[in-house]
Structures are given as C-alpha cells and as structure tokens.
Amino acid sequence: MKIIRNRLLPLGQRHSAINLFGILFVKPGAHISDQLLRHETIHSRQMRELLYVPFYIIYVAEWLWHLARLRGDGYRAYLAISFEREAYLNQNDTEYLKSRRRFAPLRRHDS
C-alpha cells in the first residue's frame, strides 16, 4: 500500500489516516501501527472487490442511513458502517485476510 504523508487529508482531528482508492494518506507525525495498516488493508480489499466506486457509494449511503437513524451522531454512524465494522473487528487478526470471504461486510450471516 502506498503511503503519502500530508497536511490536508484526512480532514478533521479524529482520524490520522484515510485510505482513498488504496492509497493511505497520513497526517505528518502520525504513528502507522501494524493494526492501522491491517485496518486499511481490509478497506483496500473491500474497495477492490467492489470495483472502487460502488464501495464509496455504499459507504456514503450507509453513513447517511445511520446518521439519520442515530439522530445526527456522525461518529456513531461511521462506526456502524458495515465496512468499518469488518475492519475494526478484524484489525488485530494477522491472519484475517487469508481466510476472509469475498464481500464479507455485505453478507448478513458471515460464517
């Protein structure tokens, strides 16, 4: 994964990195942990299997849905996105991507 340190992305103070089309944009001085790399690598896999643009359409649509459902709580809406739930749930598992099923966050009962 290509990593670009910059002052512009990600926006805001809550996050130190954002993955856009498989490129990781990181704030200067932010620590890039193995956990963060695994989290973002999971997102890269999600993007690739959905051919990038549909990933972003679904991501934003889910965020808007959860934002309305959670009465404007943007951070909780972000955490409720299926792609984020998968990434957070598995970011500590060094073997996860070896056994991950395709389209895992879109499955209702991923077993």
- State residue 107's pLDDT score: 83
In a domain, 11, yes or no: no
3 found inside a domain: no
Looking at per-residue pLDDT, the higher value among 67 and 12 belongs to 67
67 in a structural domain: yes
> Could you read off the pLDDT of 11-64 as tens digits, one per residue?
998 899 999 999 999 999 999 999 999 999 999 999 999 999 999 999 999 999
For residue 45, is it within any domain?
yes
Q: What does the alpha-carbon distance between residue 6 and residue 88 come to, in Å, rounded to a whole number?
A: 24
Rounded alpha-carbon distances, angstroms, from residue 46 to 8, 68, 78: 24, 24, 16
Kindly report the pTM of this predicted structure: 0.93
Section 100-110 average pLDDT? 83
When the pLDDT of each residue in the chain is averaged and rounded to a whole number, the result is: 95
Containing structural domain, residue 52? 33-106
pLDDT at 111 over 60: no
Number of structural domains in the chain: 1
**Is residue 24 one of the residues assigned to a domain?**
no
Give pLDDT, residue 109. 56
User: Cβ distance 11 to 63 under 8 Å?
Assistant: no
Q: Is residue 14 part of a domain?
A: no
Whether 2 is in a domain gets the answer no
Does 12 reside within a domain?
no
pLDDT at 106: 87
